[in-house]
Structure 1
Amino acid sequence: PHMRKLYGNQIRKEAGLTKTLKSAAIALPKRIPDRLQQEIGKIIRENQDSTKSIERLIKDTVEKVEKAVEETKGAVGDMMFAAQPRLQSVIEETRQLLEGSRLPVPLKPTDIYMHNLSRYSLQVHQDAFEVGQPIQVEWKAPENHGSQDWIGIFRLGDNKSRQVTSINSRGLWHWINAGTDADSQETIFPPEIPIQTQGKIEFNGNRLPWKVGTYEFRYHHDNKHDVLAISAPFEIKVPAVNCLDIETIQMTVLKFIQNTLGNNQDIMPHTPQEEFVGMRETECKHLVDCIEIAYNVEFAWEVVLADKCATRLAKRIIHARQALEPFSPDNQRPISPSSLTIGSNTHDSSLLTESQ
C-alpha cells in the first residue's frame, strides 16, 4: 500500500529482479544449446512470482548450467578420443596436400612460343623403378637454351597444363647446365661455364619422390615454369621381395640404406654389418617407408638410428613379422624358421607398431 501511495499508477507489477531474470532468459546467448536455454527459461518462469526463493532459483540455475557444461565437456572429450584416428588421417592428408600445393599465383606461359619445342627432349630408358632407386634422365636442347633451364620430377596428373607447371617442385629438381665456383662454392651458369646441348642427370636420395605412383620429368625454361619438354611417364613401385630369409633381407635393407644416402660412396655402408653415418631424420623416414611397403611392418624412424646397420634392422624385421604373423588376415609369406635363430635384438621393441 505504501508503494502505491508513493507511485500511484506508475508502480511496476514485477519486481526488478524478476524483470531482470526474464530479460536474461530472452537474451540468452545464441551459442548456448537450445535445450539449455529452454531449461533456464523454464526455471525462471516457474519461479518468477516468488522473489523469496530467488537464492534457490539462482542456485538451481547454476547447478543445471554446470551439469550441462560438464556433460557437454565429457561428450566432446569422448567424441575427440573416438575421432583421433580419423583426425590423424585428415592431418596426414592435409600435410600431403600442402607438400604438393599449387603455387600461390596461377602461372601462364610467357615466351614459350618463341622456342622451337621440337629441339627440346627428355628421355628415360626404363618405365619402372623401385622406391629409392636412382633415376637417370637424358636431355637435349638447342645452343640458345636458357642458362638456368631446369628439370623437375612431378606426379603424373598433378599439373593440369602441359605448357606450364603449377605444382611446387618440393626440391625434386636439378639445373641442366650449372657448375660450382671453386672458390666461393656458389652455383654458376653459362657464359661463366661452357654451354651444353645435351647431357644426363641422375635423381637420387632426397631429389626423388619416395612414394609409389606414376611420375614424369618436366624441362623448364630459364628458372621459370614454362614447360619446353615432358618425358614419357614412368612408375615408382614397391620393391620386389620374394624371400624372407635373413641374408636376403640384409642385402635388401642394405640397398635401401644406400639409396637413402644417395649412393654416396663416402658415407654409405658397403656391407650389412657396416654401420652407416650421415643419416638424418629425412633419410631415416625414407628408409622406414621402404621397409613398410616391402615387408608390411612399420617402425618409428628413431629405430634406424638405434640399429645403425642393415644386419640389426633385418633381425628386427624378422622378429616383427614373426610377432605379427598370427594376426595377419591373409597369412603372408611364411618366415623361415632358421632365420629366427640369428641372435636376439636387444633394442626397444616398443618402437614397433603394426602397419595399417
Structure 2
Amino acid sequence: MVLNYTSFASLVLTCLSGNNHWKLSLLRWTIGVLLIALQIWTSWSIHDALGDFGWFFGDFFYPPKSKLSSTGIYRYLNNPERLLGSAAFWGCVVITNSRLIFAMALLSQICNIFFIQLVERPHMEKLYGDQVRKDAGLTKGIKRALKPEWEQKLVNVSFKVGKVVSETKELIEEAYSHAVPKESVVEILGETRAWLIGYRRLALTKIAGGDLSFLEPQKYHITTSQKRYHIGEPIKISWTAPGNHSLKDWIGIYEVTHNSSREITLVGSKGCWSGISSSGYEDDESIEFYDGIQGNIVLKGYRLPWRQGVWEVRYHHDKKHNVMAISQPFEIYVHKCEKDEKPAIEKDLFHLFQTCSMDVEDISEKDANKIVYAIKEMFGIEFSIEVICGARDIGRLAERICAAKGALKPFIST
C-alpha cells in the first residue's frame, strides 16, 4: 500500500514538474484537494472503525477477535473503500489533467473493485456468514425513497455486474490453465478471440426480475440416475415441474464450487446443457421423454463435462439463469490403471472408447484432446493430440503407453 501511494505520488509530481501545471485555475485545485482530503478522511474513518487488526487484514491470518460490527462509516456503507478509497487518485487526475494519470487512476479503481469482489467479499461471507449485511444503511434509505420498479431495476443491474465479474474471473482462470508455449502471437490472439466469443453471449444474458413465487419453486425437482459416472459416460437426468412451467426451461451441469448463489447461475455451462421440451428447443436430441410435468434428459458426447470433480444439475426458468431446482451432487471420475501389461492397458482403453462412443480409427482433434486428458488421468502419461490421431488402433496406442511407462519407470520413485 505504501509503495502504491508513493509511486503514484511520484508520478503525479513528475507530471506537474514536467509541465506548467502549477498555474491552474483555483477551481481545479480546489476540487482535486477536496477529493484527496475525502480519501484521507475515509481512510481515517475506516481505521477508527476497524482498528489495527482490521486495517491490516488480521482476520485473513488469525481468528477474528469479535463478531462483525457496523459502526462508524460502516454504519452507512458496506465497502467505503470501493469508491471513496480511490478519491485521491481522481483528485490528482483533476489537478494534472494528464491522460497517463487518468489511466493509472482507472487501473487502480478497477483493481480495487476486483479485489473487493473476488477476495474480500468471499472471505467475509465465509468467515462471518449471516453477519454480513446485504444492504448498508445508505442503501436501505435510498431503497425506501425509490419506487418499487426502480428498486427492481437496481437489483437487476447489480446481478448483471456480479455476473460479468464472475465470468471474467472464470475466463482468466481458464486462460491461465490453458497457457502453453505458442508458435506465434497470432495463435495466442486467435485463442483469446475464441474464448471471448464463447463468453460474450453469457455475459450479456438478461436475468429475469420480479417475483417468481407464482411458479411454485417447491414443486420443481431434478435428479440424476447415479451418484458416480465415469468420464464420457452418458448422464441421465429426470425432472418434475408444475404445469405452468415455461417450454423454454432448461438444465445445465456445473461444478458445485463454481456457483456462489443457489438462486441464480453466474457461470457458463460450456455446452453442457439441454432444453426440457422439444416444443421449446427443436432438434434437441438430448430430450428422451416429456409429458408436460415431467421428463427425462440424457446428456452424452460433447454435452458432457470432461473433467474429474463433483458436479450438480441446475434447472433454469424460461431460457434465463434463475434456478428453480438443484440436484444432489454427483461425481465424475476416471478409472486409474495401475498395471503395466499391454492386455490390461488395451482393455481399459477399449472400455474408455466404448463408453465415450468414439472411433479410434476416425477421431477428430476435439475428441483426441479429450482422450489426451483421460489417458493422462488413467495412466499418468501425457501424449500430444497428434499421437492419438496417428495411432488409429487401440492396440498400437496401448503399445505406446507401455513404452512410455517403461521409459519413465526408472525416474518414478516408489
Output the TM-score relative to the length of structure 2: 0.48
The 1:234–1:194 alpha-carbon spacing in structure 2 relative to 1, beyond 3 Å, is: closer
Give secondary structure in 1 for the equivalent of 2:268: coil
The 1:146–1:213 alpha-carbon spacing in structure 2 relative to 1, beyond 3 Å, is: same
Kept after mapping to 2: 8 A contact 1:128/1:236: yes
- Which residue of structure 2 lines up, in the alignment, with residue 288 of structure 1? 372
Give secondary structure in 2 for the equivalent of 1:299: coil
The runs of 4+ residues in structure 1 deviating greater than 4 Å are 97-103, 105-109
For 2:199 and 2:175, the matched residues in 1 are separated by: 17
- Residue 276 in structure 1 maps to residue 355 in structure 2: no
- Which residue of structure 1 lines up, in the alignment, with residue 322 of structure 2? 226
Give secondary structure in 1 for the equivalent of 2:178: helix
- Which residue of structure 2 lines up, in the alignment, with residue 197 of structure 1? 293
1:108-187 pair list within 5 angstroms: 108-110=207-209, 111-178=211-278, 187=283
Aligned length: 225
Q: Aligned to 1:92, which of 154, 178, 191? A: 178
Letter of the 2:178 partner, please give it.
E
1:206-285 pair list within 5 angstroms: 206-260=302-356, 263=357, 268-269=358-359, 276-277=361-362, 279-285=363-369
For 2:372 and 2:241, the matched residues in 1 are separated by: 39
TM-superposed CA distance for 1:243, in Å, is: 3.1
- Bigger fraction of residues in helix: 2
1:291-306 pair list within 5 angstroms: 291-306=375-390
The 1:101–1:129 alpha-carbon spacing in structure 2 relative to 1, beyond 3 Å, is: farther
Q: Aligned to 1:104, which of 177, 200, 203? A: 203
For 1:243 and 1:139, the matched residues in 2 are separated by: 41
For 1:155 and 1:321, the matched residues in 2 are separated by: 32
- Which residue of structure 2 lines up, in the alignment, with residue 47 of structure 1? none
Kept after mapping to 2: 8 A contact 1:132/1:204: yes
Q: Which runs of 5+ in 1 are unaligned?
A: 1-25, 28-87, 270-274, 332-356
Specify the structure having the higher radius of gyration (Cα).
Answer: 1
Kept after mapping to 1: 8 A contact 2:205/2:320: no
- Residue 307 in structure 1 maps to residue 391 in structure 2: yes
For 2:338 and 2:292, the matched residues in 1 are separated by: 43
Of structures 1 and 2, the one with the larger relative CO (CA 8 A, separation 6+) is: 1
Kept after mapping to 1: 8 A contact 2:207/2:320: no
Q: Which runs of 5+ in 2 are unaligned?
A: 1-16, 19-173, 180-190
TM-superposed CA distance for 1:109, in Å, is: 4.8
The 1:162–1:150 alpha-carbon spacing in structure 2 relative to 1, beyond 3 Å, is: same
Kept after mapping to 2: 8 A contact 1:205/1:259: no
TM-superposed CA distance for 1:92, in Å, is: 2.2
Kept after mapping to 2: 8 A contact 1:129/1:237: yes
Q: Deviations over 1:147-171 (max 9, x none)?
A: 1111100011211111111111111
Give secondary structure in 1 for the equivalent of 2:237: strand
Identical columns (%): 33
